[in-house]
Structure 1
Amino acid sequence: MQHLKYFTILAIIFHFQLSNADLQFFYKTEKSEEKDTIFEGEILTVIFVTNNNQDVECQPTYKSIVTVSKKGSDNSSETICAVKGLRLGEEWLQCVDERNPSELPTRVQVVVIRDQDFIDKIFPFYVTAIVLLLNVVFGTEVSLKDIKFILLRPKPLIVAAVCQFVLLPPFGLVLARVFDYEPDVALGLVMVACAPGGGNSNTASFLVGGEVPLSISMTFFSTAIAIGTMPLNLWIYGRFASNDPNFTAETIPYFQMTRTLILIVIPVAVGMVLISKAYKVTSRVMRYAKPFVFVLFLTFICTAIYRSRFVFQITPLKGYLGAVLLPIGGFLIGGIGAWCLGLRASQTKTISLEVGMQNAGIVISMTLVVFSQPKADLNSIMPICIALLTAAVATPLYILHYLVYKYNKRYRKICDQNKEAQLMEREMFEKTLIKEDVDPIDNGAMEEGSSIGESSVTGSKDEKQCQRTDEL
């Protein structure tokens, strides 16, 4: 009797473990492959095996990636479900025994990917080549003298960096949580919020009367700083991008992103070296290279729109709202930050555009190179929308600046005074460099006398210019 008692207890424990164990299942596609990945429109068969001849009920998590329907089976211990892929994404089916719905569900992963054509296959390499080439061209627009000029007046640079890498990332996280995006889409939005400024802010600064040299320098420094700040911000905020239980921030490849950013900064440095060491040859080549790059860039836009047509098919209205609000928020954060520190209007406009126009192209390139499908496509949805809609948001700013400058005398006077102040700052900086290059100790007595005379004249001019700058 004692042995029978122990046997009964063991049987009850064994039955309890079986009844609460995960369901046994395996996959079968239309091509008879046992895998969890299918193309859009393809049907995946999931066969469940139970030890108690019970039916299995499956419900999708997101409702829009796949559809699930039951199929009959000759074997009473099997339940066959047909899962059809509707659009790309990662789905988790929640499956339970119908007779024991209170048990913890078994999670069954289903991955839906797009059928890759020739353009899809070469696009990651094409994007990388375009980004590298554009950064070489961008580097030729930055000289060491410009960098030194900005470093000696670092306030605008510091304001832009704080707004861009300290204030904008949490704002992007707030947008992702408020609109409750799917995990990969939310991560794409946060990635853009953590990215450096884009080269399009340089053109925008020119169109609205900003300071183009300052814009170029800020773009260069933000790209260099992003090597460390972008992975750090993603580590801080990426884990909170989504409250979806299927999202794990540990899968974000921080090291690979850092390596990609380094590869992007190197061409900028190459362009700077070329323009400083071989100015004549580089300038001659760039006269022909820039139209070529412009045509290449237009080709890239057309190719990107064709390749990214799936984005317009699956992006909901709230996705476009987030893509519009991020640059608008960046404009406001940068503008308010510069205004609070008392920077002049032209600097305020430049910083505002630099913070609001993030380099979504870098993020798209990173997602295609770093992530596998379908994460690469899903993470690029928001960067693509932001890249397209940022121009739409900035266009009214160009029009507003043109109209106000033309019809408002006070605003026109402020803009003209800002231009004059920029020129005077630059002239004084150039004269300072010339003075530093001349060593008065090595000069002769006559040269010393002449230099003293020249310096007195120059000093009086500088005093007048300083006084004029203070008045402005």
Structure 2
Amino acid sequence: MKSIAKISNFASKYIGIIIIVLSIIAFCFPPTFSWATNYTSLLLGVAMFGMGLTIKLDDFKIVFTRPKELLIGCFAQFTIMPLVAFCLAKAFHLSPDLAIGVILVGCCPGGTASNVITYIADGDTALSVGMTIFSTLLAPFITPILVYLLGGSWVEVSLLAMILSVVKVVLLPVLGGVLIYQLFPSFVEKIRDILPLISVVAIVLLISGIVGSNAAKIVACGAIVFVVVVLHNICGLLLGLSFAKIFNLNYKKATAVAIEVGMQNSGLAISLATSNFAANPLATLPGAIFSVWHNISGSVFASIRRRGAKNANEYIEVKEREFN
């Protein structure tokens, strides 16, 4: 069990690198992972169930003890990224397939990778976790409405089908995990250290599968999608940071909000594209590329913010010594 726990810790810490390496393998040797696309919804459901197993009821207290930061963060989450996605799709005159794929990414809640990146950045990890939980629970209602309003310009969107999809692959697995934890807390605590490995394996297979099955399409139109994805992600990070500063959030909280806004649950975007937009095969491509890219940009952003946090702490310590 200790060996598995070490592997789980390693996989969680270096999930970005793992995704990049396996995505490259999937791109070069598509059959290696393309089979995973047959289980897209299942893999995302497993990842969300794993997330639910790590949530304690005490984690929900942040909703009541820190409502200001959560509301600011979630408002930014569901406004900045959807609107930036819509503007980019219009500005680059994307095809309906790619446009709905970009909008799906923008309308999704934050992903669990943001919690790891926030921790690395020395940000407010508790706030990041709280935002992920809160935005994920809101997603079954907000994500379909946003996709319906913004994506309807390009393709026909079934609001009810979208709601049912998000409930099936996100809400039910998360709540199921929370319920299992409440019913069997001692057992879940015994395996807690290996739970992240479940989510990591599911997410890595999901992303690698999409990359493998879309290898030829990536070659054909990957450049434009990559540019849009990079701009989308960077705008999310910078605008999220600016939004947090407008509301005078401190350095660590602002870091958490920026990362949470910029790093979407692109696995959900892929799943929704697969299950709701089968007539638009390229709709999964933006989510797959975003999944790879945001781990790279997130790690760089975390490194910059971590150095800034260190300098800020040193400045505070100097001022405190001067005051005393």
Same fold (TM over 0.5): yes
Match of 2:303 among 394, 399, 417: 399
Return closer, same or farther for 1:159/1:288 CA change in 2, 3 Å cut-off.
Answer: closer
Q: Tell me which of 257, 260, 263 is aligned to 2:165.
A: 260
Q: How does 1:24-423 map to 2 (within 5 A)?
A: 123-240=36-153, 247=154, 249=155, 251-263=156-168, 264-373=170-279, 375=280, 377-404=281-308, 410-413=311-314
What code does the residue aligned with 1:226 have?
Answer: A
CA distance in 2, matches of 1:256, 1:415: 52
Mark the structure with the bigger radius of gyration.
1
Matched position secondary structure for 1:315:
helix
Higher relative contact order (CA 8 A, sep 6+): 2
Q: CA deviation at 1:404?
A: 4.6
Amino acid aligned to 1:198: G
Q: Is the 8 A contact 1:135 1:267 kept in 2?
A: yes
Partner of 1:426: none
> SS where residue 170 of structure 1 aligns?
helix
CA separation of 1:360/1:414 partners in 2, compared to 1, >3 Å: closer, same or farther?
farther
Distance verdict in 2 for CA 1:414–1:135, change over 3 Å: farther
Which amino acid letter does the alignment assign opposite residue 369 of structure 1? S
Unaligned runs of 5+ in 1: 1-115, 241-246, 417-470
Alpha-carbon offset, residue 181 of structure 1: 0.8
After superposition, the Cα gap between the structure-2 partners of 1:144 and 1:353, relative to the gap in structure 1 and judged at 3 Å, is same
Deviation per CA, 1:404-436, whole angstroms, max 9, x where unpaired?
55xxx63233799xxxxxxxxxxxxxxxxxxxx
Compare the two structures and name the one with the higher helix fraction.
Answer: 2
Looking at structure 1, the residues matched to 32 and 299 of structure 2 have their Cα atoms a distance apart, in angstroms, of 34
Distance 1:359 1:155 in 2: 23
Counterpart residue identity of residue 357, structure 1: M
For the structure 1 residues 215 and 232, does the alpha-carbon distance in structure 2 shift closer, same or farther, using more than 3 Å as the test?
Answer: same
| Structure that is richer in strand per residue | 1
TM-score normalised to the size of structure 2?
A: 0.81
CA distance in 2, matches of 1:295, 1:232: 30
Change (3 A) 1:291 1:391: closer
Contact 1:360 1:383 (8 Å CA) reproduced: yes
Corresponding residue pairs, total: 290
Range with greater deviation from structure 2 (271-280 or 152-161): 271-280
In 2, Cα distance between equivalents of 1:410 and 1:182: 45
Aligned to 1:422: none
Letter in 1 for 2:298: A
Distance 1:316 1:290, change over 3 A: closer
In structure 2, distance between residues paired with 1:166 and 1:349 = 18
Task: State the TM-score, normalizing by the size of structure 1.
Answer: 0.57
1:34 counterpart residue number? none
Mapped contact 1:195–1:360 kept (Cα < 8 A): yes
- Separation in 2 of the partners of 1:253 and 1:229? 14
Cα separation, partners in 2 of 1:129 and 1:350, compared to 1, 3 Å? same
The alpha carbon displacement at 1:236 in A equals 2.0
| Structure 1 letter corresponding to 2:282 | L
Identity %: 22
Question: Residues 259-308 of structure 1: CA distance to partner in whole angstroms, max 9, x if unpaired?
Answer: 01111111111222222332111122333444355445444444333223
CA deviation map 1:73-100 (0-9, x unaligned): xxxxxxxxxxxxxxxxxxxxxxxxxxxx
Query: 1:319/1:301 Cα in 2 relative to 1: closer, same or farther (>3 Å)?
Result: closer
RMSD: 2.7
Contact 1:168 1:333 (8 Å CA) reproduced:
no
1:303 and 1:235 mapped to 2: Cα distance? 27
Q: Using the alignment, how far apart are the partners of 1:414 and 1:191 within structure 2?
A: 42
**CA offset at residue 321 of structure 1?**
1.2
